[in-house]
Amino acid sequence: MKVLDTINSPSDLRRLNGEELDDLAAEVRRFLIDAVSRTGGHLGPNLGVVELTIALHRVFDSPADPIVWDTGHQAYVHKLFTGRTLAFSQLRQEEGLSGYPRRAESEHDLVENSHASTALSYVDGMAKAFQLKGERHRTPVAVVGDGALTGGLSWEALNNIGAGQGRPLVVVVNDNTRSYSPTVGGIASHLSVLRNSSTTGATTASSIFANLGLIYLGPYDGHDIGVLEHALRRARKLANQERRAVVVHCVTVKGRGYPPAEADEADCLHAVGVVDPATGRPAGPSSPTWTSTFGDQILDVAKRRPDVVAITAAMLRPVGLHKFATTFPTRVFDVGMAEQHAVTSAAGLAMAGLHPVVAIYATFVNRAFDQALMDVALHRLPVTFVLDRAGVTGEDGPSHHGMWDLSVLSVLPGMRIAAPRDPSTLRAQLWEAVNDDSGPTALRFPKANVGQDIPAVRRVGGIDVLAEGTSRDVLVVSAGAVAADCVRAAELLAGQRIGVTVIDPRWVLPVNPAVVRFARAHELVVTVEDNLRTGGVGAAVSQALQDDRVSTPVCNVGLEREFLQAGRRRDLLANAGLTGERLAEWIRTEWSARCGAVVGPHPYSVHDSDVEVAV
């Protein structure tokens, strides 16, 4: 029997001897490579924390001693040791095992928000609660990557933790010199100095942590179970004796024990799809994605526009900026996991006469809302936000779906938002965005293959007409990548004698006045978007029609105000009604209920001369 087969809870780890622990570490790595290569997931980060996770669970008594992972994508080994080994066959699948800690899965999972730099604040709060409740036996632990320490929230927490006398807690710094890519900035340099110090394993006052009031121990070999266990026991004892926080600095290797990951200098196979376990390479041929299309186009823009610069928050390659950075290394700024700083820094770049492009995941723009509002929009600055992984993302689950960006950014005065439907509109609208000096702009697109171009029948008032029925029964307002499904729905409904016009506003917010004119010419308006229905494009169209006293009823198809779990993107879209077939079925039902008695085409037709040209 394999050692891993005998581990059902953390207590099982405490009966193993040194040889068995080494065997277990090797088995865990083989298990992870096999399992993750079948389903996709975060491989490199978890291969790097095998020994650290073993030591943590041998020293601390989870869940009485809460262990909070920052970020949660490094918690696969933790899941193996807390009774979820068999569930890995459904890793990141719908109704399967989450790729991050999940409270519904285990009492050992306290935090499932996988946005970085949060663990220290969670643990600070827990330590305060334990102090107030007199639970002196409990020692909370934050496992923080060096990449997460580039986020400002970490230092807000450390500022408070350092002054927290009477509150024991342990901070484990998992220092592998990387987030997605090599960690940048002054913190990375400081950790490098500590790694190379001659006081290995010593308590030292020369670290920034000690200067903030925490006890610093380290650095330690993060792949030596015995050394780690000794260090963590010492840290726990010190924290409870001194009644304050102790930092344990562990040096690990991302992708440890898997040659393809260790050889991958770009991101150490940080996150993979289905891959060949022998090579770490994708199992099938790859197709152009929205990200790669943007990456090629922003490089073309940069070649022609020397004033265009780019900012990323520790995700140079995932957002497609690596080619730009290779060609123009002085014009791309990686600020670490610091979206707030990224946006306000972009405001400064714009104030100084450049046009910054802030490329981040759609889910992370939520973190910089105040900066987008007060530092960019208030000053009417020409900053372009490029929001990758917008809408339904897929297997990463609730914290990574980009389903709030339209609702969040729609309230910014002067903000113009484009939702490209295909490769050509993405390329065109990126140019339109960087050529707009009137204020902030944003482009959003999903995590998916980009597909083929969807040609317009004609353009009216800045709006692309994608399909026209023989009668003007239903107007479908398509926002972005749902366009192909909207056109498919129109084709299906044409066979049922329901005339459907499909339009793509291109710039979806604020609402183009031409959309109102189109709506006046139809019996029913249906808006379709892969964003929340609350505060999204549909809500804005409804408001625009109401303001203009247009009586045409409006129905909004989109995502409900709830957290979507993990699953394949196409399945989640189908569940939300965002496929051609589901849309056709829904529109037919709605049309029959509302307007089925109307006979013949609507007497009003929309021509170029009838529609106000959008500014």
Whole-angstrom distance, CA of residue 302 vs CA of residue 325: 10
Side chain identity, residue 113:
N
Whole-angstrom distance, CA of residue 564 vs CA of residue 525: 26
Residues whose CB falls within 8 Å of the CB of residue 563, separated by 6 or more in sequence, listed in order: 398, 401
Whole-angstrom distance, CA of residue 99 vs CA of residue 76: 7
DSSP conformational letter for 87: G
Residues whose CB falls within 8 Å of the CB of residue 590, separated by 6 or more in sequence, listed in order: 524, 526, 555
Q: How many CB atoms lie within 10 A of CB 17?
A: 8
Q: How many CB atoms lie within 10 A of CB 286?
A: 10
- Identified catalytic residue from 339, 395, 523, 529: 339
Bridge-based pairing state of the strands 202-203 and 215-221: antiparallel
Tokens of 535: 């505060």
Q: How many CB atoms lie within 10 A of CB 610?
A: 15
Is 114 one of the annotated binding-site residues?
yes
Is 73 one of the annotated binding-site residues?
yes
Coil, strand or helix: which one is 529? strand
Handedness of CA 219, 222, 227, 229 (dihedral sign): positive
Is 115 one of the annotated binding-site residues?
yes
Residues whose CB falls within 8 Å of the CB of residue 526, separated by 6 or more in sequence, listed in order: 474, 475, 476, 477, 554, 555, 556, 557, 583, 587, 590
Residue 197 sits at the vertex; the CA angle it makes with 195 and 198, to the nearest 5 degrees, is 130
Is 148 one of the annotated binding-site residues?
yes
Is 147 one of the annotated binding-site residues?
yes
Query: 600 vs 489, 501, 595, 605, CA distance in Å?
Result: 20, 15, 11, 13
Q: Active-site residue 367, yes or no?
A: yes
Rounded to the nearest angstrom, the gap between the alpha carbon of residue 470 and the centroid of all alpha carbons in its chain is 42
Q: How many CB atoms lie within 10 A of CB 278?
A: 10
Tokens of 534: 């609350």
Query: 278 vs 76, 85, 106, 129, CA distance in Å?
Result: 20, 22, 32, 48
- Identified catalytic residue from 79, 244, 254, 472: 254
Q: Active-site residue 339, yes or no?
A: yes
Is 116 one of the annotated binding-site residues?
yes
Q: Where are the beta strands (DSSP E) in 230-354?
A: 245-251, 271-272, 308-312, 332-334
Helix (H), strand (E), coil (C) string for 471-509: CCCEEEEECHHHHHHHHHHHHHHHCCCCCEEEEECCEEE
- Identified catalytic residue from 92, 102, 244, 367: 367
Is 339 one of the annotated binding-site residues?
yes
Residues whose CB falls within 8 Å of the CB of residue 304, separated by 6 or more in sequence, listed in order: none
Q: Active-site residue 254, yes or no?
A: yes
Active centre residues (catalytic)? 254, 339, 367
Annotated binding site: 73, 114-116, 146-148, 176, 258, 339
The binding site for thiamine diphosphate consists of: 73, 114-116, 147-148, 176, 258, 339
Query: What are the binding residues for Mg(2+)?
Result: 146, 176
